[in-house]
Copies of this chain bind each other. A is one copy, B any other.
Amino acid sequence: MKKAGIIGATGYAGVELVRLLLSHPDVEIGAISSVSFEGKSISEIYPNLLDILDTALLTEQEVIDRCDIIFAAVPHGLSQELARKCKTGGKLFIDLGADFRLYEEADYKQWYKGEYVYPELHREAVYALPELYEEKIASAKVIGNPGCYPTTVALGLAPMLKKKAIDPDTIIIDSKSGVTGAGRGLTQNTHYPDCNEAFSPYKIAEHRHTPEIEQTLSDLYGEKVTVTFVPHLLPVNRGIESTIYAKLVENFSIEEILESYKAFYKDKKFVRILPRGQIANIKNVRCSNYCDISLHLDARTRRLIVVSCIDNMVKGAAGQAIQNMNIAMGFAQDAGLCLIPPAF
């Protein structure tokens, strides 16, 4: 059994990692840390873990010292130093934040107002969307785990962009995220009476996931792609749904489109292409690592409409991080991830 450690274990992504790793066949939790709750037991903060994991929250350094694999779920800017220490110590580092997602420091500067302290680490780091970059992940030591929204978009558009079947200038992404996407920190927006029975977009055309989305789409298409991306806050706990619009460049039938998606994701267990006529719903992927995709044609306007759904905390964060660990460590890719979404 390898030892995995989680830095930032009391954030939402961190505690979901804890939960999933507790059932992993090849890994055990070696140590967990939290700046806010150091010294306390994690089950004091999250009573769902009572009698299951009552160990104390330690420091970052203790996590790095005691473990072979380090997951970091910390605010952006804080992962670079952690990555360097892990690299030096020969440990696998998986960052759930944004520090290792963008290839270009200029993008990071523009959208996150930070800089790349160790450029060589960034050159080496792998943007780890497993269905697209499995080979690079297999040999990676520093892994940038994708953002939640970008995962839905990249998986939703990859087959079409790869074969240049859509016009990239027409891509519009209308996404909706459950409230856990905003994290554990208290804000007026996520105060129950403000958030319940409410609905609204936020950060319209200026969300930080935009450059990450465009980076992957550009990579798939082979040319620079610029998109309109509008996220909305959805009054549910978990789940992201992205409705993606793009003009088809040719007169494909829905059957042809479905076939190309099925072929593209043939051996990708965690992407489910829905049968014709069914529509993806966040309900059907909840608490699982699946990305459900349904395809639709607006015959009147020749637009393709892709509906792409994940659980933002699993395929959009902790589950995908474990999937990346599995690949990098040579475990079965679905180890610890055979999660069946509940019906309700």
Residues of A within 8 A of B (CB): 12, 15-16, 19, 22-23, 46-52, 169-170, 172, 174, 176, 178-180, 184, 186-188, 190-202, 204-205, 226-228, 230, 232, 234-239, 241, 243, 245, 272, 274, 278-288, 292, 296-301, 303, 305, 307, 309, 313, 338, 340-344
B16 pairs with A343, CB closer than 8 A:
yes
7 nearest CB pairs, A to B: A205-B298, A200-B281, A198-B283, A186-B186, A174-B174, A48-B341, A48-B284
B197 pairs with A228, CB closer than 8 A:
no
How far, in Å, is A106 (CB) from chain B's closest CB?
A: 15
B343 pairs with A297, CB closer than 8 A:
no
* In the complex, chain B residues whose CB is within 8 Å of the CB of A303: 172, 205, 228
- Contact of A230 with B305 at beta-carbon distance under 8 Å, contacts A243-B174, A281-B199, A343-B15 already known: yes
* A179-B192, A200-B283 known, 19 other contacts, Cβ within 8 Å: A16-B342, A19-B343, A174-B174, A174-B245, A176-B176, A184-B193, A190-B192, A190-B193, A192-B192, A192-B235, A192-B237, A196-B236, A199-B241, A200-B309, A205-B299, A228-B301, A228-B305, A230-B243, A235-B235
* In the complex, chain B residues whose CB is within 8 Å of the CB of A279: 200-202, 204
* In the complex, chain B residues whose CB is within 8 Å of the CB of A286: 48, 197
